[in-house]
Chain A
Amino acid sequence: MLLQQLVNGLTLGAVYTLIALSFSLVMGILGVLNLAIAELFMLGGYFGFAAILAHWPLPLALLAGMAGAAVVAGVIEKIGYQPFRDTPVVTPMLSTLGFSIILQNIATNVWGSDPLQLADEVLGGRFTIGPVSVSAMQLTVMGATVVLVAALAVVVQRTSVGRALRAVAENRDVARLLGVSAGRLTLLAFMLSGALAGAAGVLIGLHYAAITPYIGVEIGLKAIAVMVIGGTTQIWGALLAGPLIGVVEVMTVAYGGSQIRDFVVYGVMILILLLRPQGLLGGARADQGQRV
């Protein structure tokens, strides 16, 4: 029973990890909270569903969700972030909020406000390992997350683009003096972040075998908490916080009250903000970033 809950928690945690990474890519590099990520996540789910309903194979559907969300994220960067680059951080946050209103409305009109359901299970089958039963879908969700996180790690840590991203995160002006095209990189950061959110959307849609236009607000907001708990200024904190929150949530539902979990998650987020603003994994206090 305990192990079973652990597996369920890790599946949910995998999705949280992806969205939290998506938030913290933009937050860590540009210091901007892109509220539209919640809806990019939802939109990615719909794109993936559309692809599956068109009988595309699963990996292609995942890619379709990622590509679709990345393109929309690029548009958001052009209209909702670039013009506001030199304004107080709250302004770009509000403009991304405008986008999230638009995206939710579009999804409601195109796909309807009722949940869209997959008729038959795309990936049936369960594996029983000792007392634990893992569905093929759960394995897919966790496996895809591991692959995506590894790919992101390679891009950020090993490529020249990744080095440029980290340089802009460190100091935008100095990075530009050294010849980094900051404008192109912000676009890249937004699109990478969108692709991650889109992937998370496809995966959670597959996991629940259903999707609604309102899934973004519910899970996206929680992912902000996951990002904060992991640490906002460096992106890898989400790798610890995502699975942690996923497991804690599933455990509180299984052994405590079903609704008390939100109270716990957001409470922990506020405590982290107050007591350890650099997040669980953040090292030196210099990692805190500006709080202004």
Chain B
Amino acid sequence: MMSTYHAGLLADVGILLLGALSVYIILATGQLSLGNAGFMGIGAYLTSYLTVTVGLPLTPALLCAALAAGAIGVIVGFPALRLKGIYLAMATLGFGEMVRSFFLNLDAMGGSEGFHGMHHISLGTIWTWAAGILLLVVILERSRVWLDMRAVRDDEIAAGLVGLNATTIKVGAFGFGAAVAAIAGGLFAHHHVYIEPGNFSFERSIDFVLAVILGGSTVGPGALVGALLLVMLPEYLRFLADWRFAAFGALLIAMLLVRRQGLLDRSLFRLLAPRRPA
């Protein structure tokens, strides 16, 4: 039997994995979002509303929240088309802060007091969703759609010239990423059984991005490695006690200096994969 301590850590990994995947999906089309905690917050509040106030079971509530957040993601995705790079990053940062501020003012859901009343869910539930969506992303990575997304990331104009619809691909990625972030939020709410707007701040968005960058920003399983690193490393760095976050920041810089693509990348996979007979 696993101790509650380890179970708590694993639950954090699962939720962070989903958040990281939400960033990864959007990043695959060359768009960096610093506002995914906003989508997570929308998912958390909506799911909790549906299970606590409306009385829906968790699964349909999560799916509803994912659909709604996905729709909001698409709505955010359209104006995002006009922005690139650092400007898009700043705009999404603003979006995330707006969502947080919105929930802070939403007295119907507790405002700054937070919202509670959710039923605690098991670790198994969290990991069923997390593993399922990771699998979905890995399958998607082998599909035509993902090639299209990478083409748009590498050169949008060239992708347009060969007949790809860059608008649909980029907006779609935003919608999909937002839906995944919303599921992360819904699971977070039902794991901690209490949410407040502060849970979905800029730092949370940054955690998602860090997990992707550390784990590997070009392959889906990178998000899993990144999430594991991000949650477990501060635990293993406990001997550094108060300095573990500084060590962590240094590690991030070192990683960017030495291995910018993150721990996992394609060539590593090729190296490890069994050679197919010619």
Q: Which A positions have Cβ atoms within 8 angstroms of B? A: 27, 31-33, 79-80, 83-84, 87-91, 93-95, 97-102, 104-106, 108-109, 217, 221, 224-225, 228, 232, 257, 259-260, 262-263, 266-267, 269-270, 273-274, 277, 291-292
Q: Give complex CA distance A31, B95 in Å.
A: 22
Asked if A84 and B256 sit within 8 Å, CB to CB, the answer is yes
Residue numbers in A under 8 Å from B253 (CB-CB): 79-80, 95, 98-99
Shortest CB-to-CB span from B217 to chain A, Å, is 10
Asked if B98 and A266 sit within 8 Å, CB to CB, the answer is yes
Kindly identify which residue among A102, A260, A266, A291 contacts B87, using a CB–CB cutoff of 8 Å: A291
Q: Give complex CA distance A123, B209 in Å.
A: 43
Q: Give complex CA distance A229, B109 in Å.
A: 31
* B274 CB–A CB distance under 8 Å: no
Kindly identify which residue among A80, A91, A274, A277 contacts B260, using a CB–CB cutoff of 8 Å: A91
For A90, the closest partner residue in chain B by CB is B32
Q: Give complex CA distance A49, B203 in Å.
A: 26
Asked if A263 and B250 sit within 8 Å, CB to CB, the answer is no
Question: Which of B79, B82, B90, B252 has the most C-beta atoms of chain A within 10 angstroms of its own C-beta?
Answer: B90
25 interchain pairs, CB-CB under 8 A = A32-B86, A80-B253, A83-B257, A88-B85, A89-B86, A94-B209, A94-B213, A97-B252, A98-B252, A99-B253, A100-B249, A101-B245, A109-B246, A224-B93, A259-B104, A260-B105, A262-B98, A262-B101, A266-B98, A269-B94, A273-B91, A274-B82, A274-B83, A291-B85, A291-B87
Shortest CB-to-CB span from B132 to chain A, Å, is 29
Kindly identify which residue among B83, B101, B203, B246 contacts A259, using a CB–CB cutoff of 8 Å: B101
Question: Which of A79, A101, A217 has the most C-beta atoms of chain B within 10 angstroms of its own C-beta?
Answer: A101
Q: Give complex CA distance A263, B212 in Å.
A: 28
Shortest CB-to-CB span from A287 to chain B, Å, is 14
Residue numbers in A under 8 Å from B252 (CB-CB): 94-95, 97-98, 101
Main secondary structure of the interface of B (DSSP, over half): helix
Residue numbers in B under 8 Å from A262 (CB-CB): 97-98, 100-101, 104
Residue numbers in A under 8 Å from B256 (CB-CB): 84, 91, 94-95, 98
Asked if A102 and B85 sit within 8 Å, CB to CB, the answer is no
Size bracket of the B interface = 35 or more
Kindly identify which residue among B86, B93, B105 contacts A263, using a CB–CB cutoff of 8 Å: B105
* B71 CB–A CB distance under 8 Å: no
Asked if B249 and A277 sit within 8 Å, CB to CB, the answer is no
Asked if B105 and A33 sit within 8 Å, CB to CB, the answer is no
Residue numbers in A under 8 Å from B97 (CB-CB): 221, 262, 266
* B202 CB–A CB distance under 8 Å: yes
Residue numbers in A under 8 Å from B250 (CB-CB): 98, 102
